[in-house]
Structure 1
Amino acid sequence: MARSVIVTGGFGVLGQAVSEAFVAAGDTVCRIDFAQTAHTPIAGVLDIGGVDLTDAVATQAALDAVNAAHGGIDVLVNVAGGFSWETLEDGAIDTWLRMQSMNLVSNATITKLALPLLTQSEQGRIVNIGAGAAISAGMGMGAYAASKSGVHRLTEALAAELSGKTVTVNAVLPSIIDTPTNRADMPDAVFSTWVQPGAIAEVILFLASPAARAISGALIPVTRGG
């Protein structure tokens, strides 16, 4: 039976790969994104653009549209987020606030609002995107790593909160993802060691599957090139 899946940040490279993987598995997918339109359409997918996931009213309206179109929510994959590299000495405090908003508050907002529908699912799944860089932050990574560390703690706390319900909550922690933006930003890097978006999508599909029903609160590193 097809499940109703939401992928936030679904218009980006990783969100696109995750959405395509769920469609290939026979699921019904909605992509929600801050961008107005997707660069690459996916046949049969419901796209909702222009949504600020830190805005509870806009986020609730998007969830209502998904519920009306797909009859509930079974899986929520929180891909939406952002990245910034700057040192504390030369950077701005606004960057710390922006990273918290983009990576943590957006995640917490849609997850909280989606819980009433997710808990009605027989096998509800929440999969968050953490970061390997949040385990030990290097120079210039403070604001980003702090926000992604918050995603890790959110994952653990919510998994404990939902321990008596049908919903599991896990996070994948990728190392550098092989995207055009990252290649442009780091042209001298060895790209073959970077993680492919499709490989991350496969891990997410497993965590969303019945086979992962006994896993909740896990922070799973995804570091192989793939």
Structure 2
Amino acid sequence: MGRLRGRNIALTGGTGALGRVVAKRLTDEGAKVHIPAIESEVDKTALGLGEAVSITTGIDLSDEQAVKEFYAKLPPLWASIHIAGGFAFAPISETDAATLRQQFEMNAVSAYLCCKEAAANMKAGKAGGRLVNVSARPALEPRVGANITAYTMAKAGIAALTTALAEELKDERIAVNAVAPSIIDTPANREAMSGADFSTWVTPGAIAELMLSLCDPDAASVSGAVVPIYGWV
């Protein structure tokens, strides 16, 4: 049953539109998925998440102690995927320091803390592992980040974290990679950009397949990559 049979995988952002698709693909491949959710209550059935998914509620991923406690209670991990984040659309003239800090907390800081604690878990198990972050197209092509500079800076931080950490953890056989999507075809994005051509956007399913490939036990030679996945935009 699947290339991830019996393996434990942490998945942040797992209750969101992309995260639910990723969770399903992971469990289809036999993984047991552990989701930290900021919500106080989550209805797994309503979200279409099966029995192989466990959810811990009330977790703020920018809170160092909360992240440490979440990962400390998990069984030995094979992978940790970090989808959770936030977005702010505004030119720099309308973006204050509080918004900038918020973008870093929601995106770069949360990814950093989860990588740190997941790596500690994997090192203890001495079996290697996989860390997968989510950057974004503007991190690789900063000119695309006009009018979303705070978000662009935060996602660029994730790209840098990924490359640096891959080098740091190579002796532990922990591969560290990231995906860098453009606009994702989610209900929220369709509502926000109702006049767009949705057929050009990258689908959650395509991103899920890429993440799955980066978690594959046979993908050990891939580390330090920030992989563009743009659809047809």
Residue 130 of structure 1 is matched in structure 2 by: 135
2:14 counterpart of 1:6: no
Please provide the CA RMSD for this pair.
1.4
Q: Which residue of 1 aligns with 2:148?
A: 141
> Residues 6-50 of structure 1, C-alpha deviation per residue, up to 9 Å, x if partnerless?
100111111111111100001111111222333514121101121
Amino acid aligned to 1:81: G
- Corresponding position of 2:68: 60
Give the match's secondary structure for 1:59.
helix
1:114-152 deviation digits (Å, cap 9, x = unpaired): 212122252400000010122224321100010000000
The answer to whether the Cα contact below 8 Å between 2:184 and 2:201 also exists between their aligned partners in 1 is: yes
1:180 to 172, 184, 187: 187
Residue 218 of structure 2 corresponds to residue 211 of structure 1: yes
Residue matched to 2:40: 36
Q: When the two structures are superposed, what TM-score results if normalisation uses the length of structure 2?
A: 0.91
Indicate if the aligned counterparts of 1:33 and 1:80 stay in contact, CA closer than 8 A.
Answer: no
TM-score normalized by structure 1? 0.93
1:102 corresponds in structure 2 to 106
Q: Give CA-to-partner distance per residue, 1:130-189, whole Å, 9 cap, x none.
A: 101222243211000100000000000000101212100000001100011100110000
Residue pair 1:73, 1:121 contacting (<8 A) in 2 also: no
8 Å Cα contact 2:95-2:150 kept in structure 1: no
Aligned partner of 2:87 among 78, 83, 88: 83
Identity %: 36
Secondary structure at 1:22's aligned position in 2? helix
Instruction: Note if 1:199 corresponds to 2:203.
Output: no
Aligned residue pairs: how many? 221
* SS of residue in 1 equivalent to 2:199: helix
Q: Equivalent residue for 2:97?
A: 93
Write the distance in 2 (CA, Å) between the matches of 1:105 and 1:158.
Answer: 14
Deviation for aligned residue 1:86 = 0.6
* 1:51 is aligned to 2:59: yes
- The match for 1:154 among 161, 169, 187 is 161
What is the match of residue 116 of structure 1? Answer: 120
Gaps of 5+ in 1: none
